[in-house]
Amino acid sequence: MSELYFFIGKGGVGKTTLSAAFAVERARQNRVLLISTDPAHSLGDILETKLGDKPARVPLGTQGSLLACEVNPAKRFRGFLGRYRQELVTLVERASLFTADEISALLETTLPGMAEVAGLLAIEQALEDRSDSIVVVDTAPFGHTLRLFDLPRQFLRLLRFLDLCAQRDRVLAEHFGGHARTGRAAFLDRWRAQLGRADRLFVSAHLVLVTTGEAFALNESVRCLEELGRMNPAFRLESVILNRTVVHPGGCDHCQSTARRGVAARHLLRKQFRSARLYVAEDPGAPIVGTKQLAKFAAHVFRGKPLNWRVAEPLGSAGLAFRRASWPKLIAPLSLVVGKGGVGKTTISAALGYRTRRSTKAQVIICSVDPAPSLDDIFKTSVGNEPREVLGDPGFLASEFDSIALYRTWMSELKAQVEAASASEYAGLHVDLSYDRRIFLELLEMVPPGIDELLAIFRIMELDAGAGRKVVIDMAPTAHALELLRMPGRILTWARLLLKSLAAHRKLALAGEVAAKIADFEVRARELSRAMRSPQRLATYVALLAEPLPDRETERLLSELGKLGLQVNTIYVNRVFLREHLDGCSRCLRATRWQQQTLAKLKERFSGGTIFVVPDFRLEPQGARGLSKLTNTLWQMK
């Protein structure tokens, strides 16, 4: 039986590096398959190997076998849907108001999360094909990972709907008499078996948590592990890796501060996760890429060898110039802050809002739609679903929208309308109405994945209706944010199909009430689509770190935002060392040189926009004092 390892954690803590190092280490004596399920892949960058959706051999230079792949969600999902499309269409067409063409298009938008389904299929296929291997999964940041582990429950909604479709003849025969065809759709039994395997797969897997000593990363790790425990108490955390620590700081103030955080983090992690084994990974001050470096890093982390090997130095001199700048004020009514996980999106969002509030009289609201938010941490107060005052300022508000609660409220209202509208229409006027009502209720559970977060965006857009008010949206990490920004198009497809089908039954109160609710949703999706293409209405900021791997992912992010019609004119590069020489510390000097090389490349690619540089303040800014210090210093690349 294969061993399965999930590397989980907040974005930007080093999951990909450590999962790759672990895979290289175990490949010395085992056949190992390394899978990235993060839609914003960086595994190929770290392995220095071109990867695709199919497992490819990674050259190790030593004895051992390592295959790796980056799951292509769209390709996997199309293959999955293609195998069952005809059976699905036939089953639903026979049981509902929809035509075959409408059903086919509807399935493209409403099956449970495409990326998560694709990841699950890749993992299951790996376990079936490689019975003697170790399978290591590099997951997306916590928000996507929670969805992956929650997929079996999400899939149950689809099965309930399809089961009801398969029972149409029996239900109508019970109600009106007659003979019902027997037999079940065989593929539903296969899916149900797959669902059971997925449950067992997750429960039996080894969970490896990766974190850093930063307060935000630690707090988010604790919250998300608690959420996993609520999903299923049988989930078992096997190991914790405390990454980017400094054990021997020397005389460097920055490294001494990092070392102190590391000591405190070790105490917290041992107390919080008593049954898990704790590993400590030192920060070499340089990216770890290629299998040779990964093997040495793995020996340090998992076998306790000293980190005394020579790491790569950047090539060439950057020759950069900076000038002092002031933090700009928010201009557009709505602002998005996007970027890879762990780069400081929440910090940049809060700083922009704080600076705007301090220099104008405009009311400012910071809203997070990240499934794993951290506004609580930065404002040092509990931030809930409704905007509430922070930092003692009634004009400065923050909220972490509970998108799931918004979705449940919306759905319960819609269901109540369906129930009320159809209560008086069961008396034989429409022989299929009772059954169609049940079909509608189950179908409404199959709304496009991500609609919960889109409801949060709609709620935020309502907040920006006030004159002079500025609203900042702290987005989820890259891949999750892009999926959310693509949602309006999917919603429009979903709404058009439902409204078209309901039009044929517009004389029924059932159809009319549902159509009104869905039409309202469609109007708001169109409004969001228009706002996304209006620089006067919406501004987009990108946050990143001056490190090679986040930099490559940001390049891909900018390309995708352009395809969506979003203009990016400003980039914030966070946690930058601005002095070449930091207390004579070789680690910090090496990190500074790598940062400068990354900044030089960014300047070449983003020549038409503004690049601001935010200094590294050693500690995450928290509360009014931290935000005041942060917003007093800003540099702009010349």
Mean pLDDT of 398-427: 70
Please report which helix (H) or strand (E) contains residue 505, including its range: none
DSSP per-residue codes, 379-439 = HTS---SS-EEETTEEEEEEEE--HHHHHHHHHHHHHHHHHHHHTT--SSSSTTHHHHHHH
> Burial of 248 by CB count in 10 Å (0-12 exposed, 13-18 middle, 19+ buried)?
exposed
What pLDDT does residue 130 have?
Answer: 60
Phi and psi based region of residue 50 (left: phi greater than 0; alpha: psi -120 to 50; beta: remaining)? beta
3-state secondary structure of 314: coil
What φ, ψ does residue 196 adopt, rounded to 5°? -65, -40
Q: Categorize the per-residue pLDDT at 5 as very low, low, confident or very high, splitting at 50, 70 and 90.
A: very high
Which of 303, 335, 364 is the C-terminal boundary of a domain?
A: 303
- Per-residue buried b or exposed e for 279-309, using 16+ beta carbons within 10 Å of the residue's own CB: bbbbbbbbbbbbbebbbbbbbbbbeeeebee
- What amino acid is encoded at 88 in this protein? L
Q: Do residues 94 and 167 lie in contact, with contact meaning Cβ atoms separated by under 8 Å? A: no
Q: Do residues 43 and 145 lie in contact, with contact meaning Cβ atoms separated by under 8 Å? A: no
Q: Are residues 496 and 410 in the same domain?
A: yes
Please report which helix (H) or strand (E) contains residue 108, including its range: helix 100-110
Confidence check: pLDDT of 182 > 50: no
Q: Are residues 193 and 332 in the same domain?
A: no
Contacts of 517 (CB under 8 A, 6+ apart): 413, 414, 417
Q: Is residue 440 part of a domain?
A: yes
Range of the domain at 526: 322-637
What pLDDT does residue 279 have?
Answer: 97
Bridge pairing between strands 277-282 and 322-324: unpaired
- What amino acid is encoded at 73 in this protein? P
Contacts of 184 (CB under 8 A, 6+ apart): 166
Bridge pairing between strands 56-57 and 65-70: antiparallel
Q: Are residues 265 and 345 in the same domain?
A: no
What pLDDT does residue 509 have?
Answer: 58
Q: Is residue 310 part of a domain?
A: no
Beta bridge partners of 209: 8, 240
Q: Is residue 560 part of a domain?
A: yes
Q: Categorize the per-residue pLDDT at 202 as very low, low, confident or very high, splitting at 50, 70 and 90.
A: confident
C-alpha–C-alpha distance, residues 346 and 368, integer Å = 8
Q: Are residues 267 and 385 in the same domain?
A: no
Confidence check: pLDDT of 608 > 50: yes
Confidence check: pLDDT of 488 > 90: no
What pLDDT does residue 512 have?
Answer: 65
Contacts of 417 (CB under 8 A, 6+ apart): 513, 514, 517
Q: What are the tens digits of pLDDT across the range 393-406?
A: 999 999 987 777 77
What pLDDT does residue 429 have?
Answer: 42
Confidence check: pLDDT of 378 > 70: yes
Q: Are residues 297 and 383 in the same domain?
A: no
CA-based torsion, 490, 491, 496, 497: positive or negative = positive
Q: Are residues 134 and 250 in the same domain?
A: yes
Bridge pairing between strands 393-400 and 206-212: unpaired
What percentage of the chain reaches a pLDDT higher than 70?
A: 79
Q: Is residue 472 part of a domain?
A: yes
Query: Which tops the pLDDT comparison, 14 or 168?
Result: 14
Mean pLDDT of 13-36: 92
Q: Of 117-131, 343-357, 541-555, which has the strongest mean pLDDT?
A: 343-357
What φ, ψ does residue 88 adopt, rounded to 5°? -65, -45
Stretch among 285-294, 328-337, 491-500 having the lowest mean pLDDT: 491-500
Distances (CA, A) of 280 to 293, 298, 623: 17, 11, 29
Q: Categorize the per-residue pLDDT at 177 as very low, low, confident or very high, splitting at 50, 70 and 90.
A: low
Which of 269, 303, 337 is the C-terminal boundary of a domain?
A: 303
Q: Is residue 312 part of a domain?
A: no
Cα angle, residue 179 at apex, residues 173 and 185 outer, rounded to 5°? 85
> Burial of 350 by CB count in 10 Å (0-12 exposed, 13-18 middle, 19+ buried)?
buried
What pLDDT does residue 635 have?
Answer: 93
Q: Are residues 360 and 502 in the same domain?
A: yes
Confidence check: pLDDT of 34 > 70: yes
Stretch among 242-246, 316-320, 399-403 having the lowest mean pLDDT: 316-320
Stretch among 51-60, 262-271, 440-449, 470-479 having the lowest mean pLDDT: 440-449
* Averaged confidence pLDDT in the chain: 80
- What amino acid is encoded at 537 in this protein? R
What pLDDT does residue 630 have?
Answer: 92
Q: Are residues 297 and 407 in the same domain?
A: no
Q: What are the tens digits of pLDDT across the range 522-562?
A: 787 788 778 877 888 889 999 999 887 766 777 788 888 88
Q: Do residues 22 and 208 lie in contact, with contact meaning Cβ atoms separated by under 8 Å? A: yes
Q: Categorize the per-residue pLDDT at 569 as very low, low, confident or very high, splitting at 50, 70 and 90.
A: confident
Q: Categorize the per-residue pLDDT at 180 as very low, low, confident or very high, splitting at 50, 70 and 90.
A: very low
Output the domain CATH number for residue 459. 3.40.50.300
Six-digit token pair at 278? Answer: 């704790």
What φ, ψ does residue 75 adopt, rounded to 5°? -65, -45
Contacts of 122 (CB under 8 A, 6+ apart): 35, 37, 69, 71, 76
Q: Do residues 212 and 13 lie in contact, with contact meaning Cβ atoms separated by under 8 Å? A: yes
Q: Of 118-122, 211-215, 465-469, 552-556, which has the strongest mean pLDDT?
A: 211-215
What pLDDT does residue 161 have?
Answer: 75
Q: What are the tens digits of pLDDT across the range 436-474?
A: 667 666 666 665 556 666 777 777 777 766 667 899 999
Q: Where are the alpha helices (DSSP H) in 423-571?
A: 433-444, 451-463, 478-503, 509-532, 548-563
DSSP per-residue codes, 39-86 = SS--HHHHHTS---SS-EEPP-SSS-EEEEEE--HHHHHHHHHHHHHH
Stretch among 185-194, 300-309, 532-541 having the lowest mean pLDDT: 185-194
Q: Do residues 335 and 463 lie in contact, with contact meaning Cβ atoms separated by under 8 Å? A: no
Which of 303, 335, 352 is the C-terminal boundary of a domain?
A: 303
3-state secondary structure of 508: coil
Q: Are residues 252 and 332 in the same domain?
A: no
Residue 371 per-residue DSSP state: S
What pLDDT does residue 543 have?
Answer: 93
C-alpha–C-alpha distance, residues 408 and 638, integer Å = 49
Q: Categorize the per-residue pLDDT at 430 as very low, low, confident or very high, splitting at 50, 70 and 90.
A: very low
Mean pLDDT of 113-117: 61
What pLDDT does residue 145 have?
Answer: 78
Q: Do residues 13 and 138 lie in contact, with contact meaning Cβ atoms separated by under 8 Å? A: no
Confidence check: pLDDT of 40 > 80: no
What pLDDT does residue 431 have?
Answer: 41
Distances (CA, A) of 321 to 105, 391, 583, 590, 636: 53, 35, 21, 19, 9
Q: Do residues 461 and 525 lie in contact, with contact meaning Cβ atoms separated by under 8 Å? A: no
Q: Are residues 445 and 572 in the same domain?
A: yes
Q: Is residue 308 part of a domain?
A: no
Stretch among 173-177, 216-220, 412-416 having the lowest mean pLDDT: 173-177
Q: Is residue 313 part of a domain?
A: no
Q: Are residues 420 and 478 in the same domain?
A: yes
Q: What are the tens digits of pLDDT across the range 126-166?
A: 777 665 589 999 988 877 777 777 777 767 777 777 777 77
- What amino acid is encoded at 449 in this protein? P
Work out how many domains the chain is built from and give that number: 2
Q: Categorize the per-residue pLDDT at 266 as very low, low, confident or very high, splitting at 50, 70 and 90.
A: very high
Q: Is residue 56 part of a domain?
A: yes
Q: Are residues 200 and 346 in the same domain?
A: no
Confidence check: pLDDT of 53 > 90: no
